[in-house]
Structure 1
Amino acid sequence: MQQDITVQELLRLHQERELTLVDVRSPGEFKEFTIPGSLNIPLFDDRERAEIGTTYKQVSIEAAKQRGLEIVSAKLPAFIREFQALGPNKAVFCWRGGMRSRTSATLLSLMGIRAYRLTGGIRAYRQWVLQTLESFELKPKVVVIAGHTGTGKSLILRKLAERGYPVLDLERMAGHRGSIFGQIGLAPNNQKMFESLLVHELLRYQDRPFVLMEAESRRIGRAVMPNFLAEAKTSGIPIRIEAPLEERIRHIVQEYRPQEHADACLAAFRQIRRRLHTPVAAQIERHLLDHEFEEAARLLLEYYYDPRYEHAEERYTTEPIRLRVRHTDEAVQRIEQELKRLF
């Protein structure tokens, strides 16, 4: 009842919602990088994996196999129950399509549970991601949502996505908001995970007339967008959002929740403190220490973010469409009007 399956077949069935993907690697490996939409039912936890690896290197292959068998035997009933709770069609994978996924598929088969095994494991999937991105030709026109810090660009994109518009939410894929404070309250993804999330979204929207994205720099936290996407952004249609200062301050405090992450906000600020005039930097730090976050945000916008934006604002091949709005809901409505006019 075990059957090997290629990356392309696996992704097609998963997209058609006919297959549940199960990563049987350790939780640490899963956290670092996996196939989007996968569940983690590890054959070995992080400690057990390390123990088996040490045994493999310091004793022998056979000793490592024997220890692995002892560990699996003890947890087999719970392992099987987790798979029984899933839908009828499942596929398991490990790093190379080797011992862990083969063992998992065999055990499931013995219990009458059908499971595909990904040929080549997640390494083969990673090769597919790299090859796809390397040869990718983006067909939709890119519409770039730009604007000063605090204009709610990410929230605007999320609201447009909820209304069915094609959105590349790069900050969500990166797990980072793109600024020195961007990691606060989030779990940044590495380049592998970012590219995995990105490639599926690109393929999803390849036949749409346009796709929306934020005016990000190439580096977003730990991730870097591919050259073709950066070039498509520069030659895209920019829509610049202009919002009142008080609305921007309100949005920043709502988005970053500094009252819940006061220490992280202070630590992030101290990384850029030297770039500010000393008296202003001292004021901002005092506001952060006193939990006066609105005032800290106001000074950061006035003396740090706004001047840097004006100096480094990206140049596009077409003149930006400027939308002066009072809040993000109005921005969404105005952008919808522009999209209808353009497409």
Structure 2
Amino acid sequence: MYSNIKVSDLIPMIEEEKMVLIDVRSPSEYNDFSITGSVNIPFFSDAERAEVGTLYKQVSVEAAKERGLEIISAKLPEFVRQFQQIKGEKTVFCWRGGMRSKTTATLLDLMNVHVHRLEGGIREYRKWVMGQLDRQESPFPVYFLNGLTGTGKTRILKRLQEEGYPVMDLEGMANHKGSIFGHIGAEPHNQKTFDALFVQQMRKLQNAPYMLVEAESNRIGKVVVPPFLSDLKDHSVQLIIDMPMEQRIQEILEDYNPWEHQQQCMEAFQRIKSRIHTPVAKQIEEDLQTGQFASAVRLLLENYYDSRYEHTGLQYDETKKKVLHVEDIDEAVRVIKETISQVNEKELLANQRF
């Protein structure tokens, strides 16, 4: 007989990679939001789910169950085979821990394939995530990586993360670069996925001595950053990257590859065109149309992004600012590591005096 498992008991097993999660919802449900790391073995396809749902609403519960049984019976051998191929302990879940996961677990048990079934389904997992966010606060100092557009802040953080530094990559979690052009070349995550990834990373970093995070606005694309993190910006150290204009332009071109997304760049520009002085806006538009992307980026930085940053990005306590003058990403990574080391040493010495 299959066994039920609560979210609170499942989370440690997920974090220790001792459990394989299997989402039996339809592909579209899975693509919208699922538990990180889960695989999708759908009980119904999207079309089948719509058909059964229509019968449930318009005919009767019994009619829906009968049609559902017909559908799953026809593909049962392959459905079970997919589970048999997955090694290790397994937990299945659907939306509410209802019919799809119950039926799946029962059928697998008949075939001697033992699985757990998540009580309450992914809806219960979502409640757990929101509960974590409601109680969330930073247990350690936070260093905010700041600077003008194009200073490679996300690339710097990724480099530091690869070297084992405790990093919270907000843009990576949102799958959005944070600007009006930030969705280009990506499929931005929704709020549910962002929240789950945020909580997951915070739990990984809970024993870290500090955290590095980019100084984002309260919103990245369509997702909203947890309020506690936004509040921390006013009281935390700001590592402000100062990089030459030419290098910033190059960073943006390498990051966005506008020659591969010319039409999307033009469409995104139309959303801010009215905020730029008309002759300049006309020149940017021409540059984008003719492929003069370096010129377009320079004009956007000089006439839009830099002025916006001066109004909003540097409104911090002067005693918390540390301006880092660097030539490129490599130097930025090195200087940040040195700066953090120096700050931590000073704090350690200060604490030893008492």
Contact 1:166-1:210 at 8 Å conserved across structures? yes
Aligned to 1:328: 329
Alignment of 1:118 onto 2:118: yes
Aligned to 2:228: 228
Can you list the C-alpha shifts for 1:36-90, whole angstroms capped at 9, x where unaligned?
1111111111111111111111111011111111111122122222212212211
- Name structure 2 gaps, 5 residues minimum: 345-354
Amino acid at match of 2:341: K
Can you list the C-alpha shifts for 1:156-178, whole angstroms capped at 9, x where unaligned?
00000000011111111111111
**TM-aligned CA deviation for residue 316 of structure 1:** 2.9
The DSSP-based 3-state class of the residue aligned with 2:91 is strand
State which drifts further: 217-226 or 80-89: 80-89
**TM-aligned CA deviation for residue 152 of structure 1:** 0.2
Can you list the C-alpha shifts for 1:106-161, whole angstroms capped at 9, x where unaligned?
12111111111001111111111111111123201110000000000000000000
Q: Kindly report the root-mean-square deviation, in angstroms, between the aligned alpha carbons of the 2 structures.
A: 1.1
Task: Please list every run of at least 4 consecutive aligned residues from structure 1 whose deviation after the TM superposition is greater than 6 angstroms.
Answer: none
Contact 1:43-1:72 at 8 Å conserved across structures? yes
Equivalent runs, 1:177-256 vs 2, <5 Å? 177-256=177-256
C-alpha distance in 1 between matches for 2:274 and 2:336: 38
Aligned to 1:62: 62
Amino acid at match of 1:78: E
Quote the sequence identity (%). Answer: 52
**TM-aligned CA deviation for residue 319 of structure 1:** 2.9
Contact 1:5-1:118 at 8 Å conserved across structures? yes
Aligned to 2:350: none
Aligned to 1:337: 338
Contact 2:24-2:41 at 8 Å conserved across structures? yes
Amino acid at match of 2:225: M
- Name structure 1 gaps, 5 residues minimum: none
C-alpha distance in 2 between matches for 1:338 and 1:76: 59
Equivalent runs, 1:123-134 vs 2, <5 Å? 123-134=123-134
**TM-aligned CA deviation for residue 34 of structure 1:** 1.1
Aligned to 1:39: 39
Equivalent runs, 1:246-285 vs 2, <5 Å? 246-285=246-285
C-alpha distance in 1 between matches for 2:75 and 2:221: 38
The DSSP-based 3-state class of the residue aligned with 1:180 is coil
C-alpha distance in 1 between matches for 2:314 and 2:193: 27
State which drifts further: 241-250 or 133-142: 133-142
Aligned to 1:90: 90
Amino acid at match of 1:324: H
Contact 1:140-1:205 at 8 Å conserved across structures? no
State which drifts further: 279-288 or 68-77: 68-77
**TM-aligned CA deviation for residue 314 of structure 1:** 4.5
C-alpha distance in 1 between matches for 2:226 and 2:202: 12
Contact 2:178-2:220 at 8 Å conserved across structures? yes
Contact 1:91-1:116 at 8 Å conserved across structures? yes
**TM-aligned CA deviation for residue 315 of structure 1:** 2.6
C-alpha distance in 2 between matches for 1:41 and 1:232: 41
Can you list the C-alpha shifts for 1:219-271, whole angstroms capped at 9, x where unaligned?
01111011111112321111000111111111101101111111100000011
Give TM-score, length-normalised by structure 1.
Answer: 0.98
Provide closer, same or farther for how the CA distance between residues 335 and 342 of structure 1 changes in structure 2, counting only shifts above 3 A.
Answer: same
Amino acid at match of 2:141: K
C-alpha distance in 1 between matches for 2:310 and 2:114: 59
**TM-aligned CA deviation for residue 332 of structure 1:** 0.5
Contact 2:3-2:116 at 8 Å conserved across structures? yes
Alignment of 1:21 onto 2:9: no
Contact 1:236-1:316 at 8 Å conserved across structures? no
C-alpha distance in 2 between matches for 1:87 and 1:260: 41
Aligned to 2:320: 319
Give TM-score, length-normalised by structure 2.
Answer: 0.95
The DSSP-based 3-state class of the residue aligned with 1:35 is coil
Contact 1:92-1:117 at 8 Å conserved across structures? yes
Amino acid at match of 1:34: S
The DSSP-based 3-state class of the residue aligned with 1:259 is helix
**TM-aligned CA deviation for residue 28 of structure 1:** 0.9
Can you list the C-alpha shifts for 1:10-48, whole angstroms capped at 9, x where unaligned?
111111111101111111111111111111111111111
The DSSP-based 3-state class of the residue aligned with 1:216 is coil
The DSSP-based 3-state class of the residue aligned with 1:22 is strand
Contact 2:90-2:114 at 8 Å conserved across structures? yes
Contact 1:167-1:211 at 8 Å conserved across structures? yes
